[in-house]
Amino acid sequence: MLQEWYFSPIVRTRDAVIGLIVLVALISGALFIRNSRKDKLAVTTPTIEQKVTEKFGGLTIPSDVDKADLTDVSGGTGLGIATRKFANGRFELTVLADLPNPTTGSFYKASILKDNSSISIGSLRIAKGGYLVDFTSQIDYSDYNKVVVTLGGKTILEGSF
């Protein structure tokens, strides 16, 4: 009698449904745990812009400017960002750089380049957390796409728009 009840179609269907629910719950739990671990392991590397703006006290760079990341080509750890904009007859270019302090009497200089042409935009000065130079002109230099920062004639940082 017990065997007939245990193997009845209702009991088999009920057991199959319960088994399926348990299996789905186990798979869902395993996937949830795997994905939550993956999220914890994901490490985002800050961009050069994020690093530089943080160095300058959370400075916000406007969204309506061209930007160029400046990377260290001298083997050091410096980095920077250059921004430019030409509007209403005014060209503005700013270089923000996170660089080590130069030796006494030395200073960083920034230039913009186009083909074989170079225009010095000035010496970088110490600013909140790093080095900075602002350049303005009534001439549109937007076709000068390369920015370099030098120290004693040696290129330290460079980048292109």
pLDDT digits over 25-50, tens only?
888 877 777 776 665 555 677 888 88
Q: What is the distance of C-alpha 51 from the center of its chain?
A: 7
Name the residue range of residue 70's domain: 48-160
Same domain, yes or no: 36 and 60:
no
Q: pLDDT value at position 41?
A: 58
Residue ranges of alpha helices (H) inside the chain are 2-6, 9-41, 48-55
- Of 45 and 102, the structure prediction assigns the larger pLDDT to 102
Which pLDDT score is estimated for 64?
Answer: 93
Q: What is the pTM of this model?
A: 0.70
For residue 81, CA distances in Å to 15, 36, 136, 156 come to 65, 35, 17, 13
Residue 11 pLDDT > 90, yes or no? no
Both 73 and 13 in one domain: the answer is: no
Q: Which helix (H) or strand (E) holds 124?
A: none
pLDDT band at 21 (very low <50, low <70, confident <90, very high): confident
Are both 91 and 137 inside the same structural domain?
yes
Residues 13 and 79 in one domain: no
Contacts of 45 (CB under 8 A, 6+ apart): none
Domain count within the chain: 2
65 with 131, same domain? yes
Regarding whether 127 and 86 lie in a shared domain, the answer is yes
Please indicate, yes or no, whether residues 111 and 84 belong to a single structural domain of this protein. yes
User: pLDDT class for 72, splitting at 50, 70, 90?
Assistant: very high
Percent residues over pLDDT 70 in the chain: 88
Q: What is the pLDDT of residue 92?
A: 97
For residue 147, what are its two tokens? 């920015």
